[in-house]
Chain A
Amino acid sequence: GAVVSQHPSRVICKSGTSVKIECRSLDFQATTMFWYRQFPKQSLMLMATSNEGSKATYEQGVEKDKFLINHASLTLSTLTVTSAHPEDSSFYICSAVRGEAFFGQGTRLTVV
């Protein structure tokens, strides 16, 4: 069964609003989780590393004020897309490592 659960699987929001995506590790603790972004027909690109108890680290070119990450507990990381614009529409995927990297089901964000 799934070891990483992501919610919601799909979300549509209006421009200017914020959207929160949750990533949970199931039955194991993850001090570190990772957030990826995938554009249509493209590969996954790492956005940021979520660290429990400390600030997230962001990849070059990723706006930390646009993509707020909170690692609230050892099993939960959240990604908030703030003041969303249509260009933020994408597939967002989280991962956590338990021996190897497991991925959530992904969240399809559509900003209208």
Chain B
Amino acid sequence: GQQLNQSPQSMFIQEGEDVSMNCTSSSIFNTWLWYKQEPGEGPVLLIALYKAGELTSNGRLTAQFGITRKDSFLNISASIPSDVGIYFCAGPRPGSGGYNKLIFGAGTRLAVHP
């Protein structure tokens, strides 16, 4: 079935450093979504991308929709302790009608040391 390959699996960084994570797929996606999940909570949408090549920012977060439509990356600049959490890429399962039925990447666990 459809899979999203997300890397890295985990990151341990110092406060103030920049972070980059990415997702790839063997199939084309029409939408890429990036979520953050904190312990014991549901995912919260950070950035949604709808067009190939699109580059979108949300504060210190920047995400891009790859030109091939098979990849996306998320950057976090000048990390702070509250950036800690699990970051997931997600996309609508082809044929599921919009972005209702989502496929998720395995997640990137981010730890930020003060």
B107 touching A34, Cβ below 8 Å: no
A80 within 8 A of B: no
B43 nearest in chain A by CB position: A103
B59 within 8 A of A: no
Q: How many A-B residue pairs lie within 8 Å, measured between CB atoms? A: 54
Residues on A close to B: CB < 8 A? Answer: 4, 6, 9, 32, 34, 42-46, 49, 93, 95, 97, 100-106, 108
Q: Tell me, rounded to whole Å, the shortest Cβ–Cβ distance linking A42 to chain B.
A: 7
A101 with B102: in contact, given A9-B40, A44-B88, A108-B40 (CB under 8 Å)? yes
Q: Which of B12-46 contact A (CB under 8 A)?
A: 33, 35, 40-45
B9 nearest in chain A by CB position: A41
Instruction: Find chain A residues with CB under 8 A from B101 CB.
Output: 34, 46, 49
Contact pick for B48, options A32, A100, A104, A105, CB 8 Å: A100
Inter-chain CA distance A42–B107, complex, in Å, is 8
Question: Chain B binding site: helix, strand, loop or mixed by DSSP?
Answer: loop
B42 touching A104, Cβ below 8 Å: yes
A32 touching B100, Cβ below 8 Å: yes
A43 touching B102, Cβ below 8 Å: no
Inter-chain CA distance A62–B43, complex, in Å, is 22
A32 nearest in chain B by CB position: B100
Binary contact readout B80-114 vs A (1 if CB under 8 angstroms, 0 otherwise): 00000000100001000011111111110000000
A106 with B102: in contact, given A43-B88, A44-B88, A101-B33 (CB under 8 Å)? no
